[in-house]
Amino acid sequence: MQIKSIKLLGLIFALALSGCGAFGDKVDESKTWSAAKLYAEAKEELGNGAYEKAVQYFERLESRFPFGPYAQQAQMEIAYAHYKQGDQALALAAVERFIKLHPNHANVDYMYYLRGMISFNDQVGFLNFISNQDITERDPKASRDSFDAFKQLAIQFPDSIYTPDAILRMKYLVNALAQYDVHVAKYYLRRAGYLAAANRAQSAVKEYPDAPAVEEALFILVKSYDAMGMPDLRDDANRVLAKNFPESSFLSGKARVKSTWWRFW
């Protein structure tokens, strides 16, 4: 009886495993789908905001049909899905992979644009320093990465439909980076770190000469040089301020309240 019981249990266990295998096949409902069907379903999931499911479908599509016309499109969609999901690391990795594999693809300009957008979206965190964090603890690397990506797009693909928007975002980023330097300079100025304040303000003036933030950077130079007892440098900075911003309220010591500098135009 014991032997029969053991055999029966073994048979039940084997059937259970077989059932699990069958169930596993049913779980992968896309197993018999064509490339077109799989792509359509993936796009639908993407449109519905089911990014993780969409990525799974796109990855299956690329794996099953690696040489078909849908494979390259799936790679692009995977990068976009990770971007929408907020996973910057995976999104950037997918973008870099596509650019490396398909440098001459008809839509590679979009991937350069997406690379800039992935880093550009980090500006929400970058702007937090204004109210929530000591600005000297923030690293504007995402801004620089985004600017570089948009710049590469504009240089390599000047006629791309994405280039005009990229240029607008570059202008925004230039002022964001300049304003970051100004905020750091003000931080040092408030703490009597006049040399550090002057150096940071000078950096903003040299690196971003056309940014609106340069006006305040010049004023910080005037204040810093004055505090350090350097009248010649103070007067030079004041002359540059007066020449470039003749209506500046900083000249009269009554700085005007400026509109929100991070507003995107």
Domain holding 65: CATH number? Answer: 1.25.40.10
Asked if residue 176 belongs to a domain, the reply is: no
Q: Where are the beta strands (DSSP E) in 135-201?
A: none
Residue 215 placed within a domain: no
| Sequence-distant (≥ 6) Cβ neighbours of residue 95 within 8 angstroms | 79, 111, 114, 115, 118
* Domain coverage including residue 55: 34-102
The most distant pair of C-alpha atoms in the chain lies apart, rounded to whole Å, by: 107
State residue 64's pLDDT score.
93
pLDDT of residue 8: 52
Report yes or no on 250 lying in a domain.
Answer: no
Q: Would residue 187 count as lying in a domain? A: no
**From the DSSP assignment, how many helices (H) and strands (E) are in the chain?**
12, 0
Mean pLDDT of 145-173: 95
Give the chain's domain count. 1
Separation between Cα atoms, residue 174 and residue 53, nearest integer Å:
37
Establish if 81 belongs to a structural domain: yes
Amino acid at 263: R
pLDDT classification of 184: cutoffs 50, 70, 90: very high
The answer as to whether 87 is a domain residue is yes
Alpha carbon of 150 to those of 117, 160, 253: distances in Å? 8, 12, 38
What is the per-residue pLDDT across 125-139, written as a single tens digit (0 to 9) for each? 444 444 454 444 456
* pLDDT at residue 175 greater than cutoff 50: yes
Q: pLDDT tens digits, residue range 196-224?
A: 999 999 999 999 998 999 999 999 999 99
Question: Tokens 């690329």, residue?
Answer: 62
In a domain, residue 16? The reply is no
From 184, 181, 147, 186, select the one nearest 167 (Cα to Cα): 147
Q: In the predicted model, what is the mean pLDDT of the chain?
A: 84
State yes or no: pLDDT of 13 exceeds 70: no
Residue 51 placed within a domain: yes
End-to-end CA distance of the chain: 84
